[in-house]
């Protein structure tokens, strides 16, 4: 669960959507307040969502090590002591914390990574600006009419260390024209993936976590 303290009455505001919205109504004082200082809370443990995001690679590694330890102990059967309840509880807390950051965790690209876009049987290259497991922002040059929101689009992204590009079906949710010089017109669009299978979702998430372990900039939410 995500939560924050109301800046008006200091009451607790709980909602799974705090990472996605900019303002929320406090159920206690009935004031509309700006979303800020969001925490992830699970099983009596609370952590700043921003701190969690800034160290997401560390916690993902710790989660994997904990899962490996539990699996190894279980495989040893009756010859070894059963995993301590505290170990299971720690693993459960880590897993819930990761889920609290995952879907709205958006990485702003610190280097050029290009994506092939196909719309109305026309293909072009665009530069990935930021990405998460729900969508992305892409910039490209287009002297034609600005793409319309709700337009279906196909994306192909070759991630670092991958041999096959990811194929994604998406919908344009917003568009913006950026004039950078007198000779070309740059367009920036936001897209939302229509659906992701588990393999593609995991691949995107692993890429974002690995990229965030370097000195890369992280955006709080989509």
Q: Residue 126 maps to which CATH number?
A: 2.40.10.220
Same domain, 96 and 112: no
Same domain, 177 and 212: yes
Encode pLDDT of 8-37 as tens digits.
999 999 887 676 678 899 999 999 999 999
Same domain, 78 and 163: no
In a domain, 49, yes or no: no
- Which residue bears the tokens 């917003």? 174
Q: What is the mean pLDDT of residues 116-130?
A: 90
C-alpha distance from residue 188 to each of 113, 137, 185, 194 (Å): 15, 7, 10, 19
In a domain, 81, yes or no: yes
Encode pLDDT of 162-215 as tens digits.
889 999 999 999 988 876 554 557 889 999 999 889 899 888 888 887 777 654
pLDDT at 97: 73
In a domain, 150, yes or no: yes
In a domain, 42, yes or no: no
DSSP string computed for 77-144: GGGSPPPPHHHHHHHHHHHHHHHHHHTT-EEEPSS--EEEEEETTEEEEEEEEEE-SSEEEEEEE--S
Which residues are 33's β-sheet partners? 24
In a domain, 206, yes or no: yes
In a domain, 69, yes or no: yes
Task: Check pLDDT > 60 for residue 80.
Answer: no
In a domain, 47, yes or no: no
In a domain, 178, yes or no: yes
Encode pLDDT of 36-47 as tens digits.
998 888 777 788
Same domain, 190 and 142: yes
Read off the pTM: 0.60
Q: Looking at the 3D structure of the chain, how many domains does it have?
A: 3
Same domain, 78 and 178: no
Q: Within a 10 A sphere around the Cβ of 151, how many other Cβ atoms? A: 15
- Record the tokens describing residue 10, joined without a space: 């200091």
What's the whole-number average pLDDT of the chain?
80
Same domain, 90 and 7: no
Same domain, 115 and 211: yes
Same domain, 113 and 214: yes
pLDDT at 8: 94
Q: Which domain holds residue 64?
A: 56-102
C-alpha distance from residue 48 to each of 2, 8, 9, 153, 220 (Å): 10, 20, 20, 36, 12
pLDDT at 7: 94
pLDDT at 205: 83
Query: Measured between alpha carbons, how far is 159 from 3 in angstroms, rounded to an integer?
Result: 34
């Amino acid at each position: 669960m995500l939560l924050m303290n109301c800046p008006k009455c200091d009451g607790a505001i709980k909602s799974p959507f705090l990472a996605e919205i900019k303002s929320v109504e406090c159920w206690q004082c009935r004031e509309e307040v700006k979303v800020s200082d969001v925490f992830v809370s699970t099983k009596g443990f609370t952590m700043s969502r921003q701190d969690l995001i800034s160290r997401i690679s560390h916690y993902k590694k710790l989660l994997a090590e904990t899962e490996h330890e539990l699996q190894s102990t279980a495989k040893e059967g009756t010859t070894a002591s059963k995993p301590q309840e505290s170990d299971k509880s720690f693993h459960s807390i880590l897993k819930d914390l990761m889920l609290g950051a995952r879907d709205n965790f958006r990485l702003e690209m610190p280097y050029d990574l290009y994506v092939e876009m196909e719309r109305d049987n026309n293909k072009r290259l665009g530069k990935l600006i930021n990405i998460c497991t729900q969508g992305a922002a892409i910039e490209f040059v287009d002297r034609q009419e600005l793409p319309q929101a709700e337009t279906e689009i196909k994306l192909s992204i070759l991630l670092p260390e991958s041999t096959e590009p990811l194929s994604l079906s998406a919908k344009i949710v917003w568009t913006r024209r950026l004039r950078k010089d007198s000779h070309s017109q740059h367009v920036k669009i936001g897209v939302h993936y229509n659906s992701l299978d588990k393999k593609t979702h995991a691949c995107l998430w692993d890429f974002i976590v690995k990229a965030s372990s370097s000195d890369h900039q992280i955006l709080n939410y989509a």
